[in-house]
Amino acid sequence: MSAIAAMITLDSCITDYLDQSEQGIHKYKKMFNIAFRGMDNMGLDFFYQIRSMKLPVSATKTVYLPPDYINWTKVGVLNSVGEVIPLKYNSKLTLYAGTAPERLQVTQDDTLDFQNIYNQAGPFFYNYYNNGACTNLYGVPSGAPFVGGFKIDPANNIILLDENFYYEYIILEYIVGPVEGQEYFIPIQFREALIAWMTWQDIIALPSSRRGVISDKESRKSNFYNERRLANARYKPFYLAQAYELNLEMQRMTVKA
């Protein structure tokens, strides 16, 4: 089955539920919002995809995040064989003046002599033994070139880069989130789970006098979580061939040990 054939539209799940619950098309907007939230809810845990983009770096060493960005998985630059060399996440970068044109100028202070402070600070504690000498554990080379640091500014929807970053672009790999107004597809294995979500959420806010019986709400909630569990099991099945390969690998590791 091809990738597109294994997917169904969000719209088809909504119409399936409206038919099943014998509700008219006038309920479509309400159910679209509920289904959209359900896709958001399950997608984060199960089937959201990772997207990779090459984004330009501005003169202020900032990069705007894509509109469908949820969270980053990798930020870096490319090497000669198409691999992403990651940047280091630098929590010490300030968010001050993140979108200001003079960001680099106003976030630097050269009046403090940190090197002199460092030289007088001692004593230093050494806890890493390498080639006959004790050195600091921090700063041990990782084997990969250091290309710079970054920090996410979620309030302004940008990536901040340190002043030493000199590339004209970054490669951003991130979790893609849904944006209203577009057509969306979900894995076919999650059809019943999404319908169960709509069945539950359709009455969750209703009072007892209007189809809001607590026992009915709890029953629909339980059914949703069961369908979600089954959907995940079908979406990522554990095949016997995988178990066989895993067993062989464990045997090889035992022999080596």
| Contact yes or no for 89/151 (Cβ under 8 A) | yes
User: What's the mean pLDDT when you consider all of the chain?
Assistant: 79
At a CB cut-off of 8 Å and minimum separation 6, what does 202 contact? 17, 21, 30, 31, 34
Whether 2 maps to a domain, the answer reads: no
What's residue 244's pLDDT?
A: 62
**Pair (59, 139) in one structural domain:** yes
- Worst-scoring range by mean pLDDT, 26-35, 135-144, 240-249? 135-144
Range with the poorest average pLDDT among 10-19, 89-98, 142-151, 176-185: 142-151
How confident is the model over 63-86, as a mean pLDDT? 89
Tell whether 151 and 166 lie within a shared domain: yes
One domain for residues 163 and 192? no
Is the Cα dihedral 10, 11, 16, 22 positive or negative?
positive
Are residues 116 and 62 part of one domain? yes
Structural domain includes residue 58: yes
Do residue 147 and residue 191 come from a single domain? no
- In angstroms, rounded to a whole number, what is the distance separating the alpha carbons of residues 217 and 200? 6
Dihedrals φ, ψ of 160, to 5°?
A: -95, 135
64: tokens are: 């705007």
Nearest CA-CA partner of 161 in 69, 57, 74 = 57
Final residue in a domain of this structure, among 176, 191, 224: 176
54/168 same-domain check: yes
Kindly state whether residues 126 and 85 are assigned to the same domain: yes
Binned at pLDDT 50, 70 and 90, residue 201 comes out as very high
Where is the domain boundary, 176, 197, 215? 176
163 and 94 within one domain: yes
pTM for this prediction: 0.56
Per-residue confidence (pLDDT) for residue 102, from 0 to 100: 76
Last residue of a domain, one of 135, 158, 176: 176
pLDDT band at 19 (very low <50, low <70, confident <90, very high): very high
pLDDT of 123 > 70? The answer is: no
**Structural domain count, the chain:** 2
Indicate whether 136 and 234 sit together in one domain. no
Are residues 55 and 171 both part of a single domain?
yes
141 part of a folded domain: yes
Q: Is 198 helix (H, G, I), strand (E, B) or coil?
A: helix
135 and 251 part of one domain = no
Q: How far is CA 240 from the centre of its chain?
A: 30
Confidence bin at 124 (pLDDT 50/70/90): very low
What's the average model confidence in pLDDT over 60-81?
A: 89
Q: What range defines the domain where residue 61 resides?
A: 50-176
Q: Which amino acid is at 234?
A: R
